[in-house]
Structure 1
Amino acid sequence: MPKSPETLLEQEFGLIAELVHAHARARPRHPALIDECSRVDFGELDQRMDRVATSLQRDLVDVGDAIAICAAASVNYGVVFLGALRAGVAVAPLSPSSTAESLATMLADCRAKFLFLDEHVAKTMATVALPSGLQLVRLDHSPGVRSLEAWLAPAGSVPVPVTIEPDAAFNIIYSSGTTGTPKGIVQPHSMRWAHVRRARNFGYDNEAVTLCSTPLYSNTTLVSFFPAIAGGGTVVLMPKFEAGKFLELSQRYRVTHAMLVPVQYQRLMDREDFDRCDLSSYRMKFCTSAPFSAALKADILRRWPGGLIEYYGMTEGGGTCMLLAHQFPDKLHTVGQPVTGHDIRLIDEQGRPVPVGSIGEVVGRSAAMMKGYFNQPDKTAEAEWYDAEGKRFIRTGDVGRFDADGFLTLMDRRKDMIISGGFNIYPSDLEAVLFQHPAVRDGAVVGVPSREWGETPIAFVVLRPGATASADDIKQWTNSRLGKTQRLSAVELTTELPRNSIGKVLKRELRDRYAQASS
């Protein structure tokens, strides 16, 4: 006898694709995915997932192989992602804002058999050679590429059942994507299932309506998208965030849940019409991916109905902290406490645990952990820490301190990653491009505070002797070679960079210098 959704959700491990099938049996006409042009209910979603899975099997894409999706969020995007999972195929969701060269690198790295794309990405990819054997399928009405409908197996097709183990790859998320060598973070099915089971505590049931306004290639979105679908609720997809549209959709669909990054919250709260909007349907709002100021949290709690939860963690998984801001208004300066079942510790530079109240690097362990970086065992080893009992933890590179109540306050990031508008930006990627400019002798990229983006990258540049390039010339030249989310907001010319005794650039001094000049 087929299991009900409720029975499946009680299992220690299960498959999201199987849950969709159970919801389709129970409520086939309930809306599942909605975008600006179309919608599908659970019955149709289940059937289209079967067609996607059958098509992949027909085209010899085996369990454990990968496909890639690079497009704006849409119903078709969700259908292909979920259908691939039913076939046991891993999905690499890629950023459409990446350069053509970086996309080609990531496609080759994950050995994708198919790339599902839209017109914007098709134009981007037209400038580079694609990996041998890669097949293209379009998700929209862009010309020149086989359409999804033409590729799909006939209606009524049923795939051959496959066995999917808990540690099998669910998706591969790339942590870097414009220059250099990207790292593909392999997240297993067990990790996503842990997210689904955790989300049941926050009202992700079959009457929930979740508004996804961040891209589907981002783990920020996926930790909300999959629990919403797994719970049998409705997901409304925005191809691009716009504050006024977000509020309009929230009211039209009586939205109950949303995951937003801090810069989106700031733009919403700054709108003159915000307090006139009816947001009473909201049960819970979430935030992650970037520093979230206590003042902004307090403003949201005061003016936006429903609870507010901040997650602190990594795409790589490991330990997660959660701040239930509506329950702990006196802890808004923290990122909360470790989630139940998550072991979070602090270690010093030598990898030794630090005493309570001391500052150390955050490491974490839980059921939700990446298998590793795809094809990069050395990078995987660098990201791991083992305790005295041999238990595996993931290193965050962040420095923090626990207070007496067990709430974690982040002090700084050991890594120099910049988080701008919820997107991870790696200074080394930008520097690699900057150094190619013929007038640049030396340089460094740092993140500085930005009201609009949370943080924004700027570059400090030392010119070659005799060079006459202006700061604006260098900025424009560099930005023309970077992805849209990575562009420099400013270039500062300087005669030298501050360095320590072993020659390492002191980026903190550069940030302080910029802050003083801007004050």
Structure 2
Amino acid sequence: MPTIADYQTAEFGLLSDLIRIHAHERPTHPALVQDGDSLSYAELDALMDRVAAGLQRDGVKVGQAVAICATTSLNYAALFLGCLRAGVAAAPLAPSSTPEQLAGMVDDCGASLFFLDHGVAEAMAGVMDQVKARRIALDGGPAGEAFVHWLPRAGAKPAPVEIDPKTPFNIIYSSGTTGTPKGIVQSHAMRWRHMGPREDGMGFGPDAVSLISTPLYSNTTLVCFFPTLAGGGTVVMMAKFDAGKYLELAERYRVTHSMLVPVQYRRLMEYPDFGKYDLTSFQMKFCTSAPFAAELKAQVLERWPGGLTEYYGMTEGGGGFVLFAHLHPDKLHTVGQPGAGSIIKLIDEDGKEVATGEVGEIVGRSPATMNGYWNRPDKTAEAQWTDPATGEVYIRTGDVGRLDAEGFLTLMDRRKDMIISGGFNIYPSDMEAVILQHDAVAEAAVVGVPSDAWGETPVAFVALKPGASATAEEIKAFTNGKVGKTQRLSDLKLVDSLPRSHIGKVLKRELRDGYAAG
């Protein structure tokens, strides 16, 4: 049997093979832990075999997909990993999607099997007749055939399969607001670029203990989950984030790595007993998926041992940025420099590259790029920009930013969120940064709303810090006194909290729609 050392410089490999090696070399070492239960590497390896054998028994071929929609659990994780051993693409779906979207995604990925739990089944009750896939209940509830009964007998082994670099690893669906979201196909080669056992300075070795509290359907979670298992470490999983429980688990398991989104970092920094927990085991913390305020990064660096790494990129791949915040405390307002293998350009509305220091849309290319959108060649083409000088294809991010002389990227906004008022471009992130300077403000979001006079005009939504007191007019006046005439807010609304997705992204469409309706 190969050893982990054989993979150190491999251009391509399979996560399922690495787990098998760990099971042979360290069979009793815990691979997955949740709520006091665990799976050792030997147990996980055997369960992956049973899952893969079950998929083959049911006629699921290499490159085909199965759908998964459930709360994070040991069964969920083992199912996802077992799909990889069979060369089957897992399509993990967000339970927060509408019932109609979920039914559409199960159909879109062509799944003949749909693994779900009771909560999802209840939510989809009105559209379940649209789902043709066979249903298996991961939690053993009434959602379908019990997972333990679906599994082949203990000791079952799958037939060997050929998995090439372009074979779909998973299909991650974008967070579409209407219709069926697009399925982003990530290949085994793309994932290997993210997790191959190489010296990347992140410390994902056999002694790593990673705590994840975001869901398994999110790429945010997977960029920490897979490297931990590839390195032979332990993943401690939370089904739902809670600041107090997170800190208890971090101390109990001597956690070394963790992926969190900005709103979770903020809740932890605001947790009254944060300083009472021993977090000295931490080596590296990660963040991605949403804007990470510079002042919040500074708090984390000051109060929490270990390094802090921020990733900026797209699930689609292309180019990405990395900020080692602990090494660049003077660059906390940025998302870092291009990651290894990433080639980045900023382009204007005519598709022409802009000069350093000028604002443009971020486009990127790298070996870690999606195959394309599942069955959507038209949308795949829309997501691409071709360099007229070289013919090389880049992925469009839809984000607007500025590169400094050292290659650090300052994000401005989503291109679609930019406000054009009276012919002037207004970047909501600039406005939000000013609003956050007010002592009473915890979080803020600025959106553009229709205006007869200006085309669009900026409106802010603000949540106050616990115990703070300020009126909407006071904060509006404070902001307008610090910005240019063309940027001034036309309205400001106080809210209890900003609407967010399960991975912490502010849902600005909800704010715009709610304002229009109100």
TM range (shorter): 0.7 to 0.9
Who is 2:345 aligned against?
A: 345
Who is 2:102 aligned against?
A: 103
What is the alpha-carbon distance in structure 1 between the residues aligned to residue 156 and residue 352 of structure 2? 56
Who is 1:316 aligned against?
A: 316
What is the alpha-carbon distance in structure 1 between the residues aligned to residue 251 and residue 400 of structure 2? 40
Who is 1:145 aligned against?
A: 144
Evaluate the alpha carbon distance shift between residue 396 and residue 225 of structure 1 in structure 2; reply closer, same or farther with a 3 A threshold. Answer: same
Who is 1:239 aligned against?
A: 239
- CA offsets per residue over residues 369-428 of structure 1, 9 Å max, x none? 111111111111111112222222110011111111111111222023999xxxxx9x9x
Which amino acid in structure 2 is aligned with residue 344 of structure 1? Answer: I
Alpha-carbon deviation of 1:7?
1.5
Evaluate the alpha carbon distance shift between residue 444 and residue 151 of structure 1 in structure 2; reply closer, same or farther with a 3 A threshold. Answer: farther
What is the alpha-carbon distance in structure 2 between the residues aligned to residue 393 and residue 494 of structure 1? 38
Deviates more, 1:324-333 or 1:395-404: 395-404
What is the alpha-carbon distance in structure 2 between the residues aligned to residue 493 and residue 261 of structure 1? 29
Alpha-carbon deviation of 1:100?
1.3
SS of residue matched to 2:145: coil
> Structure 1 length normalisation: TM-score?
0.81
Who is 1:222 aligned against?
A: 222
Alpha-carbon deviation of 1:10?
2.4
Evaluate the alpha carbon distance shift between residue 444 and residue 175 of structure 1 in structure 2; reply closer, same or farther with a 3 A threshold. Answer: farther
Alpha-carbon deviation of 1:176?
2.4
Who is 2:169 aligned against?
A: 170
Who is 1:470 aligned against?
A: none
Who is 1:205 aligned against?
A: 205
Alpha-carbon deviation of 1:358?
1.7
Evaluate the alpha carbon distance shift between residue 170 and residue 447 of structure 1 in structure 2; reply closer, same or farther with a 3 A threshold. Answer: farther
Evaluate the alpha carbon distance shift between residue 316 and residue 129 of structure 1 in structure 2; reply closer, same or farther with a 3 A threshold. Answer: same
Who is 2:390 aligned against?
A: 389
SS of residue matched to 1:415: helix
SS of residue matched to 2:59: coil
- CA offsets per residue over residues 45-91 of structure 1, 9 Å max, x none? 00010000000000000011100110111111110000011000001
What is the alpha-carbon distance in structure 2 between the residues aligned to residue 279 and residue 237 of structure 1? 17
> Structure 2 length normalisation: TM-score?
0.81
Who is 1:471 aligned against?
A: none
Deviates more, 1:10-19 or 1:197-206: 197-206
What is the alpha-carbon distance in structure 2 between the residues aligned to residue 494 and residue 85 of structure 1? 46
Who is 2:327 aligned against?
A: 327
SS of residue matched to 1:201: coil
Who is 1:500 aligned against?
A: none
What is the alpha-carbon distance in structure 1 between the residues aligned to residue 292 and residue 129 of structure 2? 39
What is the alpha-carbon distance in structure 2 between the residues aligned to residue 254 and residue 383 of structure 1? 42
SS of residue matched to 1:115: strand
Which amino acid in structure 2 is aligned with residue 347 of structure 1? Answer: I
Deviates more, 1:206-215 or 1:348-357: 348-357
Indicate whether 1:261 and 2:261 are aligned. Answer: yes
Who is 1:510 aligned against?
A: none
What is the alpha-carbon distance in structure 2 between the residues aligned to residue 72 and residue 354 of structure 1? 44
Evaluate the alpha carbon distance shift between residue 363 and residue 136 of structure 1 in structure 2; reply closer, same or farther with a 3 A threshold. Answer: same
Who is 1:492 aligned against?
A: 515
Alpha-carbon deviation of 1:131?
4.8
What is the alpha-carbon distance in structure 2 between the residues aligned to residue 119 and residue 31 of structure 1? 28
Who is 1:70 aligned against?
A: 69
What is the alpha-carbon distance in structure 1 between the residues aligned to residue 195 and residue 464 of structure 2? 33
Which amino acid in structure 1 is aligned with residue 352 of structure 2? Answer: R
SS of residue matched to 1:492: helix
- CA offsets per residue over residues 225-274 of structure 1, 9 Å max, x none? 10111110000110000111100000011000001000000000001111
Which amino acid in structure 1 is aligned with residue 224 of structure 2? Answer: S
Query: Is contact 1:99-1:178 (8 Å) kept?
Result: no
What is the alpha-carbon distance in structure 1 between the residues aligned to residue 194 and residue 269 of structure 2? 28
SS of residue matched to 2:90: strand
Who is 1:502 aligned against?
A: none
Query: Is contact 1:279-1:305 (8 Å) kept?
Result: yes
Alpha-carbon deviation of 1:353?
1.4
Percent pairwise identity:
58
- CA offsets per residue over residues 97-130 of structure 1, 9 Å max, x none? 2221110001011011111111101112221144
SS of residue matched to 2:201: helix
What is the alpha-carbon distance in structure 2 between the residues aligned to residue 357 and residue 307 of structure 1? 28
What is the alpha-carbon distance in structure 1 between the residues aligned to residue 75 and residue 240 of structure 2? 16
Query: Is contact 1:102-1:178 (8 Å) kept?
Result: no
Evaluate the alpha carbon distance shift between residue 220 and residue 227 of structure 1 in structure 2; reply closer, same or farther with a 3 A threshold. Answer: same
Give unmatched runs, 5+ long, in structure 2: 419-427, 430-444, 450-455, 466-494
SS of residue matched to 1:249: helix
Which amino acid in structure 2 is aligned with residue 492 of structure 1? Answer: Y
Alpha-carbon deviation of 1:143?
2.4
SS of residue matched to 2:205: coil
Query: Is contact 2:140-2:147 (8 Å) kept?
Result: no
Evaluate the alpha carbon distance shift between residue 94 and residue 444 of structure 1 in structure 2; reply closer, same or farther with a 3 A threshold. Answer: farther
Deviates more, 1:263-272 or 1:174-183: 174-183
Alpha-carbon deviation of 1:141?
3.1
Evaluate the alpha carbon distance shift between residue 392 and residue 223 of structure 1 in structure 2; reply closer, same or farther with a 3 A threshold. Answer: same
Give unmatched runs, 5+ long, in structure 1: 420-424, 432-442, 453-474, 496-519
Alpha-carbon deviation of 1:144?
5.2
SS of residue matched to 1:7: helix
Query: Is contact 2:117-2:143 (8 Å) kept?
Result: no
The count of corresponding residues between Structure 1 and Structure 2 is 448
Query: Is contact 2:135-2:143 (8 Å) kept?
Result: no
The aligned runs of 1:309-458 (5 Å cut-off) are 309-387=309-387, 388-416=389-417, 448=461
Alpha-carbon deviation of 1:493?
5.2
Query: Is contact 1:104-1:130 (8 Å) kept?
Result: no
Who is 1:498 aligned against?
A: none
Alpha-carbon deviation of 1:354?
1.4
Who is 1:4 aligned against?
A: 3
Alpha-carbon deviation of 1:181?
2.8
Evaluate the alpha carbon distance shift between residue 16 and residue 162 of structure 1 in structure 2; reply closer, same or farther with a 3 A threshold. Answer: same
SS of residue matched to 2:229: helix
Who is 2:24 aligned against?
A: 25
What is the alpha-carbon distance in structure 2 between the residues aligned to residue 302 and residue 161 of structure 1? 50
What is the alpha-carbon distance in structure 1 between the residues aligned to residue 363 and residue 516 of structure 2? 38
SS of residue matched to 1:32: strand
What is the alpha-carbon distance in structure 2 between the residues aligned to residue 37 and residue 85 of structure 1? 26
What is the alpha-carbon distance in structure 1 between the residues aligned to residue 8 and residue 346 of structure 2? 33
Indicate whether 1:48 and 2:71 are aligned. Answer: no
Query: Is contact 2:206-2:233 (8 Å) kept?
Result: yes
Evaluate the alpha carbon distance shift between residue 170 and residue 137 of structure 1 in structure 2; reply closer, same or farther with a 3 A threshold. Answer: same
Query: Is contact 1:101-1:178 (8 Å) kept?
Result: no
- The two structures, once aligned, show a CA RMSD in angstroms of 2.9
What is the alpha-carbon distance in structure 2 between the residues aligned to residue 415 and residue 394 of structure 1? 16
Alpha-carbon deviation of 1:199?
7.6
Who is 1:517 aligned against?
A: none
- CA offsets per residue over residues 182-237 of structure 1, 9 Å max, x none? 11111111111001037842000011000010011010001111011111000011
